[in-house]
Amino acid sequence: MTGGAVTFDFHNTLARCDAWFALEVRELPAAFLRWQAERMGEPVDERLLEAATAAYRRLREGVAADGREVAAEAGVARVLAELALPADAATIGDGVEALMRRTLAETEPISGAVPTVRFLAASGTPLGVVSSAVYPPFLEWTLQRFGIRDFFDDVTTSAGAGFYKSDPEIYRRALTALAADAARSVHVGDSYRYDVGGAHRAGMKTIWLRSGSGHEADDGPSPDLTIDGLDAAAPAILALLA
């Protein structure tokens, strides 16, 4: 019989890094243009940066709407092509990696995340991460930095799976990788829309990590459990899993 698993969202559930998140959702193409200008010793055209930011916003809105993800490098390439700016794939790759690595030192674990993961892993529970993230290596670096990467059997990102969290297929891909049954599995996350709603549509139980930035939706599914933090949360997660 297929067993259950626990999956976690990444941003504001396991880790906090505002600089990384800003790159992911708003600033990546403009930041790349700044990085490229610095590298070449050239001035930065502020109007071009504004245009790049606007183009990336449109791209990200489209991703959230149709559920099909665009990875970091491809997103930068699309924006540059829209602005008729030349850049080869190798340079884009180097720039994206450099920009992402700059933010790594600011990353901090959410209170209670590390001991909760360790407790669940010690119980023998299969663990995974499901994240709408355009640059998968950053999650690997962060989990290694926190000393918990080896406790996760799978890390599924939207860039890797090709699906944003607005499409429940990303959860199904994670469950397949974990060899877990949706009805016997639990997802933990801070986004009411994408964590509670997305995982519920994939057939999973859900735990909403309520935070100052999150709020309940007027419609849609209710979480099976609501918690205010991960400190000492492992027993409640195991109880819901059971």
* Length of the chain as a residue count: 242
pLDDT of amino acid 213: 52
Single out the residue in 66, 88, 104 at which a domain terminates: 104
**Same structural domain, 168 and 133:** yes
195 and 167 fall within a common domain: yes
**Domains contained in the chain, number:** 2
Do residues 176 and 236 share a domain?
yes
Q: Is residue 1 part of a domain?
A: no
Cβ-count burial of 92 within 10 angstroms (0-12 exposed, 13-18 middle, 19+ buried)? Answer: buried
Assigned domain for 189 exists = yes
Are 208 and 127 in the same domain?
yes
Over its length of 242 residues, how does the chain's per-residue pLDDT go in tens digits? 479 999 999 999 999 999 999 999 999 999 999 999 999 999 989 999 999 999 999 999 999 999 999 999 999 999 999 999 988 999 999 999 999 999 999 999 999 999 999 999 999 999 999 999 999 999 999 999 999 999 999 999 999 999 999 999 999 999 999 999 999 999 999 999 999 999 999 999 999 999 755 556 556 789 999 999 999 999 999 999 98
pLDDT at 242: 81
Decide if 218 is inside a domain: yes
Asked whether residue 178 is assigned to any structural domain, the reply reads yes
Asked whether residue 206 falls in the same domain as residue 158, the answer is yes
In a domain, 158, yes or no: yes
Same domain? For 168 and 193 the reply is: yes
Dist. CA 124–CA 67, nearest whole Å? 33
Instruction: Give the separation between CA 238 and CA 242, rounded to whole angstroms.
Output: 6
Which pLDDT score is estimated for 176? 97
Q: Are residues 67 and 100 in the same domain?
A: yes
Final residue before a domain boundary, out of 49, 74, 104: 104
Whether residues 93 and 192 share a domain: the answer is no
How far is Cα 194 from Cα 124, in angstroms, rounded to an integer?
27
Structural domain that includes position 120: 6-16+108-241
CA-closest candidate to residue 242, choices 2, 4, 1: 4
Q: Is 61 a domain residue? A: yes
* pLDDT (0 to 100) of residue 96: 98
Cα gap 27→21, rounded to integer Å: 9
**Is residue 115 located within the same domain as residue 51?**
no
Q: Left (φ > 0), alpha (ψ -120 to 50) or beta: where does 8 sit?
A: beta
Could you tell me if 189 and 117 lie in one domain? yes
Q: In this structure, what CATH number is given to the domain that contains residue 184?
A: 3.40.50.1000
Do both 224 and 165 map to the same domain?
Answer: yes
Q: Are residues 69 and 42 in the same domain?
A: yes
